[in-house]
Amino acid sequence: MAKILCLALNPAIDISSDAEVVRHTHKTRTHNQQQFPGGGGINVARVIATLGGRCELAFLSGGETGKLLEAMLQPLPILERPFAIHDPVRVAYAVHETSTNLEYRFVPEGPLVTESELAPVINAVCESDADYIVASGSLPRGAPHDTYVRLAEAARARGARFILDTSGPALAAALSSAQMYLVKPSLGEFEAFVGEKLTHDLVGPVAQDYVRRGIAEYIAVTLGGDGAILVSSDKIIRVPAIDVPVNSATGAGDSFVAGIVWALSEGRDIEDAFHVGQAAGAAAVMTAGTELCRREDVLRLYGASTRP
């Protein structure tokens, strides 16, 4: 089985709870509190573990919340590699208002990191023997926008396949100059980068242009409830979403990425892995709140997914 290294440069502790009504000034009494280790790279590692894969997880960890995060990850079948930073890991809070079925999400800006705190993570990638290196999530404050470009270079130099799921300036830097194996923007993230709205028919050809320029071997653009598009230099595959009861879209993108990487690490080809990703994304929307996806749902939905 191929080796996987997940990178989480801006992890979080995700706390969620329910309240009947959220009001200003008054105390909002909550119940059903749940807490999970979270943030892009951590979620990807958790889903890979759920699917039965083994991965190493390199993450920035500071303060008392960093210690808590490490303790929360400890029971999971993930090889933890915390990298110390000064500032504390952020705590994100979501309240589900049961009377309206609306969700209020509070996401702190998180730690400010220095170049010297980031350097050991870049070194770890330079020395890694992983076959797949997956970076997911936003960059922490203080990290240069081209941090993922540098990590992609380090991975390439080791002969590893680099997979990226990020947004904003970090995605823009990567789509401008990185050489990756796979990059997974959502439609909104891709549109923000190209600077225009794209019809589903246009996404494939526009993404293919980046593939042909050598930015990535594959680009997967996810369309939420409308499915996903996989682009290579000579092929555009579009698949509809798998029809499932929708509970919470939280974690669909992370589960999609984890499904693809896990399947690739098992030796499946990219198209097959793409279908596993679709199944994992759909399985994630079936679960409530910040819960990601369940293995049995992924395997069942994979069997039901549409082949082009």
241 scored as a contact of ligand ATP (CB under 6 A) = yes
228 scored as a contact of ligand ATP (CB under 6 A) = yes
Kindly report the backbone phi and psi dihedral angles of residue 182, in degrees, each rounded to the nearest multiple of 5, phi listed first. Answer: -145, 135
Closest CA to 32 of 97, 105, 85: 97
225 scored as a contact of ligand ATP (CB under 6 A) = yes
69, 182, 285, 298: residue in contact with ligand ATP (rule CB under 6 A): 285
Is the distance from CB of 285 to CB of 246 less than 8 angstroms? yes
Point out which span in 16-24, 83-91, 149-157, 237-245 binds ligand ATP (CB under 6 A).
Answer: 237-245
Q: Out of 18, 254, 269, 297, which one is annotated catalytic?
A: 254
38, 140, 253, 259: residue in contact with Mg ion (rule CB under 5 A): 253
State which residue, 195 or 245, has the beta carbon closest to ligand ATP.
245
User: What residue 57 binds from Mg ion, ligand ATP, none (CB within 5 to 8 A, per partner kind)?
Assistant: none
Q: Which residue has the tokens 């990487």?
A: 261
User: What residue 252 binds from ligand ATP, Mg ion, none (CB within 5 to 8 A, per partner kind)?
Assistant: ligand ATP
- 14 included as an active-site residue: no
Query: In the complex, what is the shortest distance from the CB of residue 281 to ligand ATP, in angstroms, rounded to a whole number?
Result: 2
State which residue, 13 or 85, has the beta carbon closest to ligand ATP.
13
User: What residue 7 binds from ligand ATP, Mg ion, none (CB within 5 to 8 A, per partner kind)?
Assistant: none
Angle at 177 between CA 200 and CA 110, to 5 degrees: 85
H-helix or E-strand spanning residue 261: helix 252-265
State which residue, 240 or 267, has the beta carbon closest to ligand ATP.
240
Residue 123 structure tokens: 């070194």
User: In this structure, is the dihedral angle defined by the CA atoms of residues 267, 268, 273 and 275, taken in order, positive or negative?
Assistant: negative
What mask of x and - would describe binding to ligand ATP in positions 150 to 189, judged by CB under 6 A?
Answer: ------------------------------------x---
Which residue type, as a one-letter code, is found at position 173? Answer: A
Residue 258 structure tokens: 């984890």
Quote the CA–CA distance of 235 and 84 in Å, as a whole number. Answer: 43
List, in sequence order, every beta strand (DSSP E) within 20-130.
Answer: 31-38, 55-61, 78-84, 90-97, 102-106
Which residue type, as a one-letter code, is found at position 279? Answer: A
User: In this structure, is the dihedral angle defined by the CA atoms of residues 58, 61, 67 and 69, taken in order, positive or negative?
Assistant: negative
> Residues in the site for ligand ATP, rule: CB under 6 A?
186, 222-225, 227-228, 241-242, 244, 246, 249, 251-254, 256, 278, 281-282, 285
